[in-house]
Amino acid sequence: MDCKKVFLMRAKRKLMQKSMAIRDIISRLALPLLVTASLVGCATPTLRGTGDLGVVIERATGSVQILDTTHRSSLGKVNGLGDLSHASVSYSRDGRYAFVFGRDGGLSKVDLLTQSITHRVIQAGNSIGGAISQDGKLIAVANYEPGGVRIFSVDDLTPIADIPAVGANGKRSKVVGLVDAPGRRFVFSLYDAGEIWVADMHKPQQPILHKFTDVGKEPYDGMITSDGHFYAAGLFGEDGVALLDLWNLQAGVKRTLVQVGRHGEKLPVYKMPHLEGWATTGDLIVLPGVGQHEIILADQNTWQEVARIPVAGQPVFAIARPDNRQVWINFAFPDNETVQVLDLPSRSIVKTLKPGKAVLHLEFTPRGDQVWVSARDDNRIDIYDPETFEHIGRLPADKPSGIFFTSRANRTGL
Amino acid sequence: MDCKKVFLMRAKRKLMQKSMAIRDIISRLALPLLVTASLVGCATPTLRGTGDLGVVIERATGSVQILDTTHRSSLGKVNGLGDLSHASVSYSRDGRYAFVFGRDGGLSKVDLLTQSITHRVIQAGNSIGGAISQDGKLIAVANYEPGGVRIFSVDDLTPIADIPAVGANGKRSKVVGLVDAPGRRFVFSLYDAGEIWVADMHKPQQPILHKFTDVGKEPYDGMITSDGHFYAAGLFGEDGVALLDLWNLQAGVKRTLVQVGRHGEKLPVYKMPHLEGWATTGDLIVLPGVGQHEIILADQNTWQEVARIPVAGQPVFAIARPDNRQVWINFAFPDNETVQVLDLPSRSIVKTLKPGKAVLHLEFTPRGDQVWVSARDDNRIDIYDPETFEHIGRLPADKPSGIFFTSRANRTGL
């Protein structure tokens, strides 16, 4: 805690400036001053609400910046988070702590108020993301190596349960697409085994597993609709989506949207779209076409394709503005300087923006008054008014990727 | 700030216990200690996140209790809020401040962390509710007397704008059903004039008003769908609902759901249902039947009736569990000891609870792991697990009515 030391040094210096008599007793004062310093903690942590905070991942430096959307500012930086070349974040239910999932298997608990890491474990060799349980008590991490899900206490990252992902083929599989679901459940996909598992966490130490086998080849990511009703896994080894109705597990996994896939790899896939970026907008689901220069609109009830919209490149994220009227889309290389805005009522692209080099992610404030865009190769975040497209802010950041606001704490599947 | 004094006294006492030499220099140390004390602030307001907080209105005593949903506890009480016999709450975008709208025209800004009122104004003679703008900068209050909307700065409740509700009939009207809407707008209804107004707040000091006249007799409350697409006002003077598509103001106000009304007052209406309690669940809208012992299900796209479900009494609030699968309903006198749970897939009542005497309100935690129920005449709040219906907590409260969690800060129309 550097700031504590600074505080102590400053206090000592002030005393030194007094008389020699005081200097004599500095050693005796050290204890109460230390007590004071620990009461104060860092001078920085102001009493404040956490509803307007967030973090941005700085992938090259293994750090996060803490963001304030009210003042469109950065409050500080937390280092020491390991390899963040593919990282994501979940939030504690009080919005104070960010759980950062690193590529190197690191799981870190970051306190946004004191701007420090309170706990950190290397829980696997290679991990891909995580989720927090509906009640806010458990953190689950999806691992590639060793393949499986590990579950920890949010309080101190104590291990609670370990779920090795051994498929029906007897082999351990990489785990992808891990999400939380209502009813104290986690849902995830086994990439190598082609399976979807539902873990019932009513007894956290003894998860009950519902396994769905033969769901399709190579599920590469998964998402849950915002109401927690459907879990969908995108298939890489074949065209289509594996769909599970979480209100009716007995019905099993169905194959749908077989048009969504690569169609024999007409185009090389530069970057797999993130399914978390599938926008669900009431009655429509908005999917990035894999390897296609198009966005697919499907009916959220029937999961049948409704329309295709041509766009500027291979879409990566398709993220709905919180009012569900427009969807903002970013793209894979070589079109990753572009962001397009799809208007759903007219089904047309109403705006093309060039925010910067290598746009990796975008995040809306929860009521949609701002959208924050990370431009990795320009080392900055740009902020826009989603209604007018006006540029309303810019912050420097070191190779920024994902932006995550604390409002995610209130939502299922984020 | 009493706690600062306590802190200072304790620090001095510690030093006094050292040598006389130290005592000599206490006066010189007073300045740095004071600085320290102001850095610490009160010992009481702990550094903490605000995402798991809320308040309950205590109507008889003009107070609120501050609630913590992680520990299912009450953190304290704030008094001096005036007449809360009909009160509601909006939250600042950081989740730290509750804006409490009292019946007596009082508007109070309550700091949940220091548990104190930071600002309070009596802004009208009789008010009915309020809303916070999409960007979190403006608080609007709907007034009966004098009829109109007044708008204040969230920072210090400085008046920003005043919108007298003079209808096309030339008379000043009571204002009801005030909500915030995307695009920096407020929407509200004029009870006496039968009008709906949209106030565009792009220039906060000079609201631009879009007025829709002749929308139907006596709109008594209004609501906005969770995506901010539709504004609906329930009509008291005739059967039906006045509906405005906020994506297409040119289309004007349409009359719909004419079956929803009282049908010639077959039953006396003991308590008007709150439209804010209309549950929107993706493709269904769930409405309490006015004066009827039934719940009406309507299609959210066509606003046509789909089904009617018989229930235990005249419904007041019909509130969707955050996963949209079930709707919890409370009732007017004499059935106000009962809460029923409607399962939407099966369209049947799956649970009848008797939480206590005079159940006035219920509120879900944002991801649906808990539901808090206020029982006014039993002077308590009861907490249930919405999945199992298990009773998981109880807190004493003084004639509790509305319960409001800070997650409302992230939602449109709340």
Residue B409 near residue B50 (C-beta atoms within 8 A): no
Would you say residue A264 has pLDDT above 80? no
> Which of B324, B345, B410 comes nearest A51 by C-beta?
B410
Please give the pLDDT value at position A412.
Answer: 86
Please give the pLDDT value at position A303.
Answer: 85
Residue B136 near residue B97 (C-beta atoms within 8 A): no
pLDDT tens by residue, A291-345? 889 998 988 878 889 999 999 999 999 999 998 899 999 999 999 999 999 999 8
Query: By mean pLDDT, which of A145-149, A181-185, B288-292, B396-400 is the weakest?
Result: B288-292
Would you say residue A173 has pLDDT above 90? yes
Provide the β-strand partners of residue A372: A363, A383
Strand B219-224's sheet: what is its strand order? B219-224, B230-235, B241-245, B253-256
Would you say residue B409 has pLDDT above 90? yes
Residue B288 near residue B259 (C-beta atoms within 8 A): no
Q: Which residues contact A242 (CB under 8 A, 6 or more apart)?
A: A189, A196, A215, A216, A219, A232, A233, A235, A253, A254, A255
Please give the pLDDT value at position B2.
Answer: 40
CA-atom Rg of chain A in angstroms? 23
Query: B116: burial class by Cβ within 10 Å (0-12, 13-18, 19+)?
Result: middle
Would you say residue A397 has pLDDT above 90? yes
pLDDT tens by residue, B18-45? 444 444 443 343 333 333 333 333 446 8
Residues in A touching B301 (Cβ below 8 Å): 283
Query: By mean pLDDT, which of A170-174, A280-284, B289-293 is the weakest?
Result: A280-284
- Give the count of beta carbons closer than 10 Å to the beta carbon of residue B37: 22
| B47 within some domain | no
- Give the count of beta carbons closer than 10 Å to the beta carbon of residue A118: 14
Q: Which two tokens stand for residue B315?
A: 């419904």
Provide the pairing of β-strand B73-78 with B208-212.
unpaired
Rounded to whole angstroms, what are the CA distances from A134 to A414, B366, B370, B385, B387?
11, 9, 10, 12, 11
Contact A182 B323 (CB under 8 A): yes
Query: B302: burial class by Cβ within 10 Å (0-12, 13-18, 19+)?
Result: exposed
- Taking the C-alpha atoms of residue A214 and residue A25, their distance in angstroms, rounded to an integer, is 75
Using alpha carbons only, give the angle B154, B160, B161 rounded to the nearest 5 degrees: 130
- Taking the C-alpha atoms of residue A147 and residue B308, their distance in angstroms, rounded to an integer, is 49
Higher pLDDT, B277 or B149: B149
Provide the pairing of β-strand B138-145 with B126-132.
antiparallel
Residues in B touching A368 (Cβ below 8 Å): 134, 182, 412
Please give the pLDDT value at position A45.
Answer: 84
- Give the count of beta carbons closer than 10 Å to the beta carbon of residue A366: 23
Q: State which residue of chain A sits closest to B227, comparing Cα positions.
A: A323
pLDDT tens by residue, A1-14? 344 444 444 444 44
Please give the pLDDT value at position B407.
Answer: 96
Please give the pLDDT value at position B21.
Answer: 42
pLDDT tens by residue, A175-208? 999 999 999 999 999 999 999 999 999 999 999 9
Higher pLDDT, B156 or B274: B156
Q: Which two tokens stand for residue A343?
A: 């208007």
Would you say residue A29 has pLDDT above 50? no
Q: Count Cβ–Cβ pairs < 8 Å, chain A vs chain B.
A: 200
| A67 within some domain | no
Indicate which of B94, B185, B187, B225 best probes the interface with A, i.e. most A CBs within 10 Å of its own CB.
B94
> Which of A11, A52, A368 comes nearest B94 by C-beta?
A52
Would you say residue B75 has pLDDT above 60? yes
Query: B36: burial class by Cβ within 10 Å (0-12, 13-18, 19+)?
Result: buried
pLDDT tens by residue, B339-362? 999 999 899 999 999 999 999 999
Please give the pLDDT value at position A282.
Answer: 64
Give chain A's mean pLDDT.
87
Please give the pLDDT value at position A276.
Answer: 60
Half-sphere exposure of A149 (CA within 13 A, CB side): 33
ipTM for this prediction: 0.87
Q: State which residue of chain A sits closest to B301, comparing Cα positions.
A: A283
| A59 within some domain | no
Rounded to whole angstroms, what are the CA distances from A358 to A250, A379, A400, B161?
43, 10, 10, 43
The pLDDT-based confidence of B236 (bands split at 50, 70, 90) is: confident
Would you say residue B136 has pLDDT above 90? yes
| A39 within some domain | no
Please give the pLDDT value at position A238.
Answer: 86
pLDDT tens by residue, A205-255? 999 999 999 999 999 888 888 888 899 998 888 888 999 999 999 999 999
Residues in B touching A228 (Cβ below 8 Å): 322-323
Give chain B's mean pLDDT.
87
- Give the amino acid at A117: I
Half-sphere exposure of B397 (CA within 13 A, CB side): 37
Q: What is the mean pLDDT of residues A156-179?
A: 97
Contact A47 B45 (CB under 8 A): yes
- Give the amino acid at A326: Q
B393: contact with A, CB 8 A cutoff: no
Please give the pLDDT value at position A30.
Answer: 36
> Which of A32, A112, A281 comes nearest B14 by C-beta?
A32
Please give the pLDDT value at position B13.
Answer: 43
A299: contact with B, CB 8 A cutoff: no
| B113 within some domain | no
Q: What is the mean pLDDT of residues B304-323?
A: 92
Q: Which two tokens stand for residue B145?
A: 């007397």
Provide the β-strand partners of residue A133: none
Q: Which two tokens stand for residue B390?
A: 């298990």
| A387 within some domain | yes
Please give the pLDDT value at position A225.
Answer: 85
Of B4, B73, B70, B78, which Cα lies nearest the Cα of B35? B4
Which of helix, strand or coil describes residue A152? strand
Would you say residue B280 has pLDDT above 90? no
CATH number at residue B390: 2.140.10.20
| A90 within some domain | no
Residue B147 near residue B164 (C-beta atoms within 8 A): yes
Of B353, B309, B344, B351, which Cα lies nearest the Cα of B323? B344
B341-367 burial: b if 16+ Cβ within 10 Å, else e: bbbbeeeebeeebebbebbbbbbbbbb
Structural domain count of chain B: 1
The pLDDT-based confidence of A366 (bands split at 50, 70, 90) is: very high
A 321-350 near B (Cβ less than 8 A): 322-325, 345
Please give the pLDDT value at position B281.
Answer: 64
Residues in A touching B53 (Cβ below 8 Å): 94
Would you say residue A38 has pLDDT above 50? no
Indicate which of A47, A367, A383 best probes the interface with B, i.e. most B CBs within 10 Å of its own CB.
A367
Please give the pLDDT value at position A2.
Answer: 41
Would you say residue A277 has pLDDT above 90? no
Q: Which two tokens stand for residue A38?
A: 């620990």
- Give the amino acid at A272: M
Q: What is the mean pLDDT of residues A378-403?
A: 98
Contact A325 B368 (CB under 8 A): no
Q: Which two tokens stand for residue B185?
A: 């707008």
Please give the pLDDT value at position B122.
Answer: 96
Please give the pLDDT value at position B285.
Answer: 85
Residues in B touching A345 (Cβ below 8 Å): 247
| B106 within some domain | no
Strand A97-101's sheet: what is its strand order? A88-91, A97-101, A106-111, A116-122
Of A94, A52, A51, A98, which Cα lies nearest the Cα of A77? A98
Please give the pLDDT value at position A408.
Answer: 95
Contact B229 A323 (CB under 8 A): yes
Q: Which residues contact B387 (CB under 8 A, 6 or more apart)?
A: A182, A183, A184, B369
Please give the pLDDT value at position B269.
Answer: 53
Tell me the range of A216-220, A400-404, B315-319 where mean pLDDT is highest.
Answer: A400-404
pTM for the structure as a whole: 0.88
Provide the pairing of β-strand A208-212 with A195-200.
antiparallel
Domain that holds residue B136: 125-410
The pLDDT-based confidence of B289 (bands split at 50, 70, 90) is: confident
Please give the pLDDT value at position B279.
Answer: 62
A 348-367 near B (Cβ less than 8 A): 365-367
Contact B94 A134 (CB under 8 A): no
- Taking the C-alpha atoms of residue B51 and residue A90, their distance in angstroms, rounded to an integer, is 14
Residue B377 near residue B359 (C-beta atoms within 8 A): no
> Which of A29, A95, A114 comes nearest B51 by C-beta?
A95
Contact A410 B135 (CB under 8 A): no
Please give the pLDDT value at position A239.
Answer: 83
Q: Which residues contact A244 (CB under 8 A, 6 or more apart)?
A: A187, A196, A198, A212, A230, A231, A232, A233, A252, A253, A254
